[in-house]
Amino acid sequence: MLLANHSNFEFECGTDEAGRGCLAGPVTAAAVILPKNFKNTVLNDSKQLSEKKRELLKPIIESNALSFGVAHIFQKEIDSINILNASILAMHQSIEKLSVNPEFIIVDGNKFKPYKNIPFETIIKGDGKYLSIAAASILAKTHRDFYMNKIHDEYPMYNWKQNKGYPTKEHREAIKKYGITKYHRKSFRLLPEQLKLDL
């Protein structure tokens, strides 16, 4: 069972990102403040759930949350500030979009930068421990998947509908065959034999 709150604050926000290890597309983060009495037995870390379950949970989270925000940081910015900074920036921007000011922030993972002097705690595997982080992981993943499905129509040969920009064998073969698109992250090692540029 996932826990409702980590702190004693009423407005605790959970935040998480999706798409960090992808070769193409944005890194997407979500921030969610759930009511203290929110319960859902299906809700878990998005990676543990099927696409169908994530899609079912998305409207439940969005209609029950006291507030939620979602933000994309696109490949150009990822290349210029690096993926870790881009992930944190996406989380900051998603928190910025909340209509309720959080009093405490819980973050999935072990890296974060202070946001507006609001106390925070990083929690490793937090998306499998706390409802609000799990909810944020689902919104980040479903909103990012929606975007990847949209750009798939522009470049169907990379099959982003299926791989969502992750480095699958098929995605790498397509990069080898067709080269890269405007959606690819140029600072990433797109092909294994490529020399890594120190950007």
Query: Is the pLDDT assigned to residue 27 strictly greater than 70?
Result: yes
Residue 82 in domain: yes
Residue 35 is part of which domain span?
A: 12-152
Q: What pLDDT sits at residue 198?
A: 44
Residue 180 in domain: no
Q: ∠67-127-121 over CA atoms, to 5°? A: 75
Q: What pLDDT sits at residue 180?
A: 94
Cβ contacts of 132 within 8 Å, gap of 6 or more: 5, 12, 13, 14, 32, 33, 34, 106
Q: Is the CB of residue 163 less than 8 Å from the CB of residue 171?
A: yes
Q: What pLDDT sits at residue 47?
A: 85
Q: What pLDDT sits at residue 45?
A: 79
pTM for the structure as a whole? 0.94
Residue 182 in domain: no
Quick count: other Cβ atoms within 10 Å of Cβ 5?
Answer: 16
| pLDDT bucket at 193, cuts 50 / 70 / 90 | low
Q: Return the CATH number at 116.
A: 3.30.420.10
| pLDDT bucket at 197, cuts 50 / 70 / 90 | very low
What average pLDDT does range 17-43 have in this prediction?
95
Residue 199 in domain: no
| pLDDT bucket at 123, cuts 50 / 70 / 90 | very high
Q: What is the pLDDT of residues 69-89, one digit of tens each?
A: 999 999 999 999 999 999 999
Residue 6 in domain: no
Residue 40 in domain: yes
Q: What pLDDT sits at residue 46?
A: 82
Quick count: other Cβ atoms within 10 Å of Cβ 80?
Answer: 12
| Distance (Å, whole) CA 190 – CA 168 | 11
Structure tokens at 164: 């969502």
- The domain total for the chain is 1
Closest CA to 57 of 148, 162, 127: 127
Residue 189 in domain: no
Query: Is the pLDDT assigned to residue 199 strictly greater than 50?
Result: no
Query: Buried (b) or exposed (e) across 102-128, using 16+ Cβ within 10 A?
Result: bebbbbbbeebeebeeeebeebeebbb
Residue 146 in domain: yes
Q: What pLDDT sits at residue 189?
A: 84
Q: What pLDDT sits at residue 124?
A: 97
Structure tokens at 47: 């990676």
| Distance (Å, whole) CA 25 – CA 12 | 29
Q: What pLDDT sits at residue 161?
A: 97
Query: Is the pLDDT assigned to residue 58 strictly greater than 50?
Result: yes
Q: What is the pLDDT of residues 98-111, one digit of tens each?
A: 999 999 999 999 99
